[in-house]
Amino acid sequence: MEYILAPSILAADFTKLGEEIKGTEEQGAKFLHFDVMDGMFVPSISFGIPVLQSIRPATQQVLDAHLMIEEPIRYVEEFAKAGADYITVHLEACSDVKATLQKIRDLHVKVGISIKPNTPVSALEAYLPMVDMVLIMSVEPGFGGQKFMESSLGKIRELRNIISEHQYKIDIQVDGGIKVDNVEKVLDAGANIIVAGSAVFNEDVAGSTKKFMEIIGRYE
Ligand code: DX5
Ligand code: ZN
């Protein structure tokens, strides 16, 4: 299993976005996480397709689109065309989850499904054969800089057990409130893709990425 850091650009300084992304890439962050918010599924609005499209040629990183939008099936094709490598949709946001996941698959993009803190892991089981990645939210989606919810750790363990039992090839991504000083317990619980926003995009982007990579590197 590969252990990966996915910096979330939601917390970046957009006046120096290219430079900050480079800082994460040079320190070994393999993914770049895009938090797309529509003001409906979550209270906030962030950014969308043109931002992902303009970053695509600027980095070799895997572009990981986390769609916090209602009925994402309406937009997955545009995100794929813009250059997304992974598209993650929320279980709670889809009226037809299977059709949404299948549409992403048909676009030859990696398929992710996410659950909010109050949605149980059992709600995912029917969809596991269709996905490459599950994203367990460790904060209520909508904003960066929130406190990590300890209740996500049990969900990560539960999901890792189900994945091992069925021998699925599914990555577990965790997102929200992850810092250098709590990332180990997330990894120990069974996650292998770590999203970090405010803990990476601060005054020292490269230095913060490096600190995460030193810890994550021990798990390879
Ligand atoms: C929350 C987003 C997260 C967030 C992470 O809705 O999905 O990706 O940007 O930010 P931090 O790491 O600051 O909690
Ligand atoms: Zn996210």
Give the model's pLDDT for residue 121.
98
Q: Which of 13, 175, 181, 188 is catalytic?
A: 175
- 3-state SS assignment for residue 91: helix
Q: How far is CA 167 from the centre of its chain?
A: 22
Q: Is 30 exposed, middle or buried (0-12, 13-18, 19+ CB in 10 A)?
A: middle
Q: Is the CB of 196 under 6 A from ligand 1?
A: yes
pLDDT recorded at residue 220: 76
> Which of 13, 35, 106, 171 does the annotation list as catalytic?
35
Closest ligand (CA of 140):
1
Whether residue 96 lies in the annotated active site = no
Please give the backbone phi and psi of residue 82, each rounded to the nearest 5 degrees, phi first. Answer: -75, -15
With a 6 A CB cut-off, is 11 part of the ligand 1 pocket?
yes
In ligand 1, which atom is closest to the CA atom of 10? 9
Q: Check pocket membership of 145 for ligand 1, CB cut-off 6 A.
A: yes
Of the candidates 57, 61, 29, the one whose C-alpha atom is nearest the C-alpha of residue 205 is 29
Amino acid at 50: P
Tell which atom from ligand 1 comes closest to the C-alpha of 178: 12
Say yes or no: CB of residue 36 within 6 Å of ligand 1: no
Please tell me the pTM assigned to this model: 0.98
Residue 187 to residue 155: CA distance in whole angstroms: 13
For residue 54, report the distance from its CA to the centre of ligand 1, in Å.
Answer: 21
Question: In a structure prediction context, what are the per-residue pLDDT tens digits for the chain, which is 220 residues long?
Answer: 999 999 999 999 999 999 999 999 999 999 999 999 999 999 999 999 999 999 999 999 999 999 999 999 999 999 999 999 999 999 999 999 999 999 999 999 999 999 999 999 999 999 999 999 999 999 999 999 999 999 999 999 999 999 999 999 999 999 999 999 999 999 999 999 999 999 999 999 999 999 999 999 999 7
C-beta neighbour count of 45 within 10 angstroms: 11
The confidence score (pLDDT) of residue 113 equals 99
User: What is the whole-number distance in angstroms between the Cα of residue 174 and the centre of ligand 1?
Assistant: 10
Pocket test for ligand 1, best of 5, 10, 133 (most atoms within 8 A of CB): 10
Please report where in the chains the tokens 């986390």 appear, as a residue.
66
Instruction: Read off the DSSP letter of residue 38.
Output: B
Rounded Cα distance, 183 and 122, in Å: 24
Nearest CA, atom 9, ligand 1:
144
Q: Residue with the nearest Cα to atom 1 of ligand 1?
A: 141
Tokens 């946001």: give the residue.
93
- State the pLDDT at residue 39: 98
